Amino acid sequence: MRDWVLHVDLDAFMAAVEILRNPELRGRPVIVGGNGDPTTPRTVVATASYEARQYGVHSGTPMRTAHKRLPDAVYLPTDLPAYEAAGAAVMDVLRSFPVIVEVWGLDEAFLGATTDDPEALARDIQHAVTAATGLTCSIGIGDNKHQAKLAAQFNKPAGVSRLTTETWQATMGERPTTALWGVGPRTGKKLADLGLHTVTQLAAADPAELAGRFGPTNGPWLRYLALGKGETTVTTTPWVPRGHSHETTFTRDLTDPAAMREHITALARRLAEETEGRPVTRVTVKVRHAPFTTHTRQAKLPAPTLDAATIEQAALTIFDRFRQDRPVRLLGVSVEYTQTGERR
DNA sequence: TCTGGGGTCCTAGGACCC
DNA sequence: TCTGGGGTCCTAGGACCC
């Protein structure tokens, strides 16, 4: 018996929940996102079913692009409460197994398991999830979260894959650095500029050079990822949110400052209602102008507060620090809470 | 690909203090 | 006087992930 980390990843989650609700959709391209109207500008796909992915429609594809490629697909608005309920049902199934369940968002979980046959466990979990909820999932098996997370993507949908320290080099070595969980396109480009294209090359890079280019934490961390290392702790301790935010992209740019202020107030009021008793220590306002330039301004409050009027007033005061003469595409407000263990 | 919304963490520079 | 060095806090922005 030894310890394993498993990553459970529900397949095409939001689309799958919609198909479950309406079985007539099965086999058709189903696209969930925005308000469900694919002609609305400035909206994107949240999840596409596998039938839609064949036509190049993925999460993040603009809805209008999806609509051009797939005019006859089924388009549905995002129904977060339905997905939360479906995700919670899956987590309950996972908890019925002798494993540690760490919920990781709506449709993912890491499991800590001690077994001789992790593939058999993974298959049992898949069958139980499908029997209880009708949803399918892919499961990755690894020595740590990084390996399990990557393995889950190897064989989707409904697959089981193993990626361990033993197989890391053979499996990952020749892949681009962006295959690593945490290396995106920007970092991939910077690494390529240093002549580091593959995982093996990054693993062999000079830590001091990486630290110089990416900072004292990020530089060494990149090499650590390339070596196939990662977090091994799986915990049931619920995540405590650091903060909370709301933002709105307007279908057409806002030009009226009074309307902007009204919107900032409304966003701040919503956040004040959603603190769940956690005092707010900092407020940030985000403004995206046309064409797509984004700026933030923030302020630490004189004292932590739950008071809605104080939070709204802070947001407005911060908003007034932006120049007011440009059309606005997006407005956002976010709050940070007192962190446990924070000195103040 | 005319580019959502909700998160997290890190970095760099300036202010300020001793 | 013509200018140190370290520590901490604050702010704006970047990058990544789902």
HSE-CB for A181 with a 13 A CA cutoff: 15
Mean pLDDT of A23-29: 96
Please check whether residue A238 lies inside any domain of the structure. no
CATH number of the domain where residue A213 is located: 1.10.150.20
At residue A272, the pLDDT reads 98
What confidence category does residue A341 fall into, taking pLDDT thresholds of 50, 70 and 90? low
Look at residue A339 in the predicted model and tell me its pLDDT.
Answer: 85
Residue A221 CA to residue A241 CA, distance in Å, equals 24
Whether residue A143 sits in one domain with residue A6: yes
Q: Average pLDDT over chain A, rounded to whole?
A: 96
| Residue A237 falls inside a structural domain | no
pLDDT in tens, A240-268: 999 999 999 999 999 999 999 999 999 99
Same domain, A7 and A122: yes
Q: What is the percent of chain A with per-residue pLDDT over 90, rounded to a whole number? A: 97
Both A7 and A123 in one domain: the answer is yes
Average pLDDT of the residues in A218-247: 96
Binding positions of A: 9, 107
- Predicted pLDDT at A252: 95
Distance in Å from B2's C1' to A231's CA comes to: 38
Measure the CA–CA gap between A70 and A64, rounded to whole angstroms.
10
- Same domain? For A247 and A321 the reply is yes
Closest CA to A180 of A218, A204, A148, A146: A146
* Residues A302-319, mean pLDDT to the nearest whole number: 97
Protein A318 CA to nucleic acid C10 C1', in Å?
15
Asked if A15 and A49 touch (Cβ cutoff 8 Å), the reply is yes
C chain positions with any atom within 7 Å of a protein CB: 9-18
- Contact residues for A265 (Cβ-Cβ < 8 A; gap 6+): A312, A315, A316
Predicted pLDDT of residue A340: 72
Annotated binding site of A for Mg(2+): 9, 107
- Give me the mean pLDDT over the A6-20 stretch: 97
CA A11 to chain CA centroid, nearest Å: 15
φ/ψ bin of A92: left (φ > 0), alpha (ψ from -120 to 50), beta (otherwise): alpha
Domain co-membership, A91 together with A123: yes
Mean pLDDT of the region A127-153: 98
Question: C16 C1' – A124 CA distance, angstroms?
Answer: 33
Does A152 lie in the same domain as A7? yes
Q: How would you class A54 by CB atoms within 10 Å of its CB: exposed for 0-12, middle for 13-18, buried for 19 or more?
A: exposed
- A246 CA to B17 C1' in angstroms comes to 37
- Which residues, other chains included, contact A291 with Cβ-Cβ below 8 Å and sequence gap of 6+? none
Mean pLDDT of A23-27: 96
Residues A311 and A282: beta-carbon distance below 8 Å: no
A285-302: average pLDDT: 96
pLDDT, tens only, A80-135: 999 999 999 999 999 999 999 999 999 999 999 999 999 999 999 999 999 999 99
Interval A160-189 mean pLDDT: 97
Name residue A160's beta-bridge partners: A139
Q: Which residues of chain A between 140 and 169 are close to nucleic strand C, CB under 7 A?
A: 149
Domain hosting A41: range is: 14-80
Which residues, listed in sequence order, are joined to residue A9 by a DSSP beta bridge? Answer: A108, A138
Is A184 within 7 A of strand B by CB distance? no
Protein-nucleic contacts, chain A 100-139 to strand C, CB < 7 Å: 105-108
Q: How many domains does chain A have?
A: 4
Residue A182: CB less than 7 A from any atom in strand C: yes
Catalytic residues of A: 108
> Quick check: A343 pLDDT over 50?
no
CA distance A165 to A194: 26
Tens-digit pLDDT profile for residues A208-217: 999 999 999 9
Closest residue to B8 (CA to C1') is: A242
Closest nucleotide relative to residue A10's CA, C1' based = C18
- Examine the domain organization and report whether A317 and A255 are in the same domain: yes
Position A344 scores a pLDDT of 38
Using a 7 Å cut-off to protein CB atoms, list the covered nucleotides of chain B: 1-12
Q: What is the pLDDT of residue A165?
A: 98
Residue A342 has pLDDT above 80, yes or no: no
Q: Is the pLDDT of residue A74 over 70?
A: yes
Query: Phi first, then psi: what are they for A194, rounded to 5°?
Result: -90, 5
Strand C close to A11 by CB, under 7 A: no
H-run or E-run covering A301: strand A293-305
For the beta carbon of residue A64, count every other beta carbon within 10 angstroms.
14
Q: Are residues A6 and A18 in the same domain?
A: no
